[in-house]
Amino acid sequence: MQEYLLRYGELTLKGRNRKLFVQNLIQVLKPRLSVLGGTYQALHKKLLVATDAPQDQVRRILETISGLTSISPIYRTNHDLTSIKALAWQLVSQFRGSGLKFAVKGKRPNKRFPMTSMDMQTVIANDIYQRGFDLPVDLKRPDLTLEFSIEMHDTFMNIVRWPGIGGLPINPRTRFGLLLSGGLDSPVAGYLMQKRGAHLMPIYFHTPPYTVDGAKDKVIDLARVLARYQNHMDLHVVNFTRIMKTLVADCPAECLVILSRRLMMRVATQIMKRHRGHALITGESLGQVASQTIENMAVINEGVPLPILRPVVGMDKVEIIQIARRIGTYEISIQPFEDCCSLFSPKEPVTKASSKRIQAIESNLDIETLVQDAVAGLETITLQPEFE
């Protein structure tokens, strides 16, 4: 079976709490190993996975685990210098004549080993070139790097390092309500919070017949992408039609966006209370559209007892699109199915909402009944991560 070294990121700095973060990481890892038919071993500040699944499949599946900085297929030998040299040559000899820039880099976690890491780099490199290796050396920007690690009982070696997500492992006990629309921004916002260990519970506001089933299916597909980064996901679908009809009929058009967002926050808060949620997440980006001004955000925040997190608030559209392409939500988000925010957006929304005015408008609405009815009609769709 091929072995893979999974390197931790910032969780190595967690001191006494590191064990809890590692446990969260392993909890995310286990169902992926079931798909790969693999096993794991916990080492000091890293994990070792063994599986005979194809490498491209292993990479796709393990790259969905936040908290890892990199993943490498590794090969091991003992501490005998002759064996180390032989393995090094076996790994790099296939690249002779390729013209790649080459480097040898390593470390020595086992401080009892008699040679320093710098000495080992020199010994391994000299032996490789004495055998007829012909690649130019470039220690700063190599195309090919032979890495070694002198561990307690064995020597690990690799020539491939796949980048990981980084961040922190998903913590299933920290539940975050993501206001998920069919656009580009909210899926990216959710992913960025998953990188910080957030277990997402997306909430989608559906307004049939104004929004068609294709819009709902689009959001489900977006949630499926995000579900790949955690072990399961509950997508909550709220029928928002009655609320939007009430707002359109009884409220000034320029205030519709602010009023609807405030009601979404109230409904989402009630859903999170049911599940002991910790925060709400939105895809708002400061100044991206007329309604997303700092004044409007302040009014939207009013009366929400949970923290409201806006991970993309300082990003422009180009940055958001780059992440969307990388995580696989871009092609789904650009499908031509509009959500309720787009359909009911006025031509000239208020850009500096007055809290007193918004509260005065809401005083003429039966807010509590509207929220309770929306929560009562909740549809929950449970999604399991899909791995190829």
Cβ atoms within 10 Å, residue 150: 21
pTM of the model: 0.92
Burial class (CB in 10 A: 0-12, 13-18, 19+), 276: exposed
Which residue do the tokens 């959500």 mark? 339
Averaged pLDDT for residues 340-361: 83
Label residue 339 by pLDDT band (50, 70, 90): low
Give residue-wise pLDDT tens across range 41-74: 998 889 999 999 999 999 999 999 999 999 999 9
pLDDT of residue 341: 62
Domain definitions of the chain by residue range: 2-163, 175-383
Cβ atoms within 10 Å, residue 202: 27
Q: How far is CA 57 from the centre of its chain?
A: 19
Q: E strand or H helix at 356, and its extent?
A: helix 355-362
More confident residue, 211 or 359: 359
pLDDT at 374 over 70: yes
pLDDT at 133 over 70: yes
* Distance set, CA 98 to CA 93, 95, 268 (Å): 10, 6, 57
* Distance set, CA 25 to CA 178, 337, 339 (Å): 22, 36, 35
Q: How many residues in total does the chain contain? A: 388
Q: Within 69-212, where are the H helices?
A: 81-92, 117-130, 185-194
Fold of the CATH domain 175-383: Rossmann fold (3.40.50)
DSSP state of 176: E
Averaged pLDDT for residues 282-293: 89
pLDDT at 348 over 90: no
Averaged pLDDT for residues 270-285: 96
- Lowest-confidence pick of 172-186, 199-213, 337-351: 337-351
Q: Closest by alpha carbon to 278, among 141, 152, 160, 178?
A: 178
Label residue 259 by pLDDT band (50, 70, 90): very high
66 vs 57: CA distance, rounded Å: 17
2-163 and 175-383 share one fold = no
241-250 and 256-274 helices cross at what angle (nearest 10)?
150
How confident is the prediction for the chain on average, in pLDDT? 93
Cβ atoms within 10 Å, residue 207: 21
Averaged pLDDT for residues 120-140: 95
Percentage of residues in the chain having pLDDT higher than 90: 85
Fold of the CATH domain 2-163: VC0802-like (3.30.2130)
